[in-house]
Structure 1
């Protein structure tokens, strides 16, 4: 007697579900590997830039592209110098102007953020609460903008540089990388451009002049300034008197 063969077929739906799970697994593995690569590269570059001068930033590239598109001259003046060759007056001026609690916080000034949010909610002039650490993280590693993704990455890199670099290196990178004029980046280039001298020789008022234009360095001038910028200079000089001695080795509170 012939044995009847089992001709039962596997349901199509079962195969489809298996294929879907396999596809989703591949997608998840891809994104997990992408995350690991991104994490590893971020750590690598943060450690590297703790010791190596930063030759170029994303903002420099963006400005070059903007000028090319607008058929303007592409001008880039950037000259890295160690922090000891940057006047203490300028270090105090940017703290007085940009981040009064720089030496006391761990990268984020939540009180300043709350004040900025309250001011913006009241319809006053739009202002931010970014610290020098946050601005440095953005300038060195990220692009300009206000998206949640960029802000999240900014917070991530801020934590990294606070842990790995410390305050002295953050200040050094900040003063060597920030935009201080049209095509002018860093303290040495700004000192030569605005005052025809080295960054180590800046007076209090000259340092205040550079710090005063940082909110919009392509719009304002550190010399032959508008009345608004001159008022900012005077205020910064007054606040500088209360900054006191800068001790980068002191642990943030």
Structure 2
């Protein structure tokens, strides 16, 4: 029994040490621009394995050199309460949970009506993650989905909010967000899709980039689709009301 308790104690200490190391890395980000994220490194390995090469576009841009249009568009599209919440928008989480429950029920009913032999389609799951949560996940965590990883995400989200200001969080997010296969950060996205720089994006260009964020690999195939255009117009209408971190 003592050996079991010692083993459990060691496991707990290792888990605590890992969390402290991650929090220390977050603290360093107040002063140091991270060169890559855990998600980006996993993408590099995937591209190298599947293609034998790594097509890559990324160039850091300081907060002042990213257009306010893009900042407003991303907040309007991804996290309207960014300036006010403490990292986790519990109302958004609750709304996402309710939508996912309804989607699961509809998927079950739809699949029950399928003819024998036809493959069932899973429910379409939506997330309620804030910009800070997305940054925590992409910066430091693995892409797997589990309750343990979600718990780590919450811890790192709170650490980001405690140790960094909103301006720095948004700067990190915009420089490491994925906008297509091998396309990371606002500058790379602006050059790739519009042949301009990140500080010169028009409201509509910025809104189109914001629309792509939930599924960049899907939308990069049809960046001018009717859905992207319509959703972008909605975001442009919301942008004037967005409060930017100072």
Corresponding pairs, count: 227
Q: Which has the higher contact order (CA 8 A, sep 6+)?
A: 2
Matches of 1:111 and 1:24, distance apart in 2: 41
2:40 match:
60
Determine whether 1:30 maps to 2:29. Answer: no
Measured on the aligned residues, the alpha-carbon RMSD in Å equals 1.8
- Give the 5 Å matches for 1:185-196: 185-196=184-195
**Structure 2 unaligned spans of 5+:** 107-123
- For residues 34-60 of structure 1, give each alpha carbon's deviation from its aligned partner in whole angstroms, at most 9, with x where no partner exists: 134213312220111121111011111
Matches of 2:151 and 2:131, distance apart in 1: 16
Name the SS of the counterpart of 1:107 in structure 2.
coil
2:139 match:
140
1:233 match:
232
Q: Does the CA contact (< 8 Å) of 1:208 and 1:237 recur in 2?
A: yes
Runs of 4+ in 1 over 4 A off after TM superposition: none
- Give the 5 Å matches for 1:22-171: 23-71=3-51, 73-123=53-103, 125-171=124-170
Of the two, which has the highest radius of gyration?
A: 1
| Deviation (angstroms), 1:72 | 5.4
Matches of 1:175 and 1:36, distance apart in 2: 30
Matches of 2:215 and 2:16, distance apart in 1: 37
Matches of 1:204 and 1:121, distance apart in 2: 35
Matches of 1:39 and 1:219, distance apart in 2: 33
- For residues 57-116 of structure 1, give each alpha carbon's deviation from its aligned partner in whole angstroms, at most 9, with x where no partner exists: 111121122223323541121111111110000000001100001011111111111111
Q: Does the CA contact (< 8 Å) of 1:213 and 1:222 recur in 2?
A: no
Q: Does the CA contact (< 8 Å) of 2:179 and 2:220 recur in 1?
A: no
Structure with a larger share of its residues in helix: 2
**Structure 1 unaligned spans of 5+:** 1-19
2:116 match:
none
Going from structure 1 to structure 2, the CA distance change for 1:35 and 1:122 (only over 3 Å counts) comes to: closer
| Deviation (angstroms), 1:221 | 2.9
Name the SS of the counterpart of 2:19 in structure 1.
helix
Q: Does the CA contact (< 8 Å) of 2:38 and 2:138 recur in 1?
A: yes
Task: Tell me the TM-score normalised to structure 2 length.
Answer: 0.86
Task: Tell me the TM-score normalised to structure 1 length.
Answer: 0.84
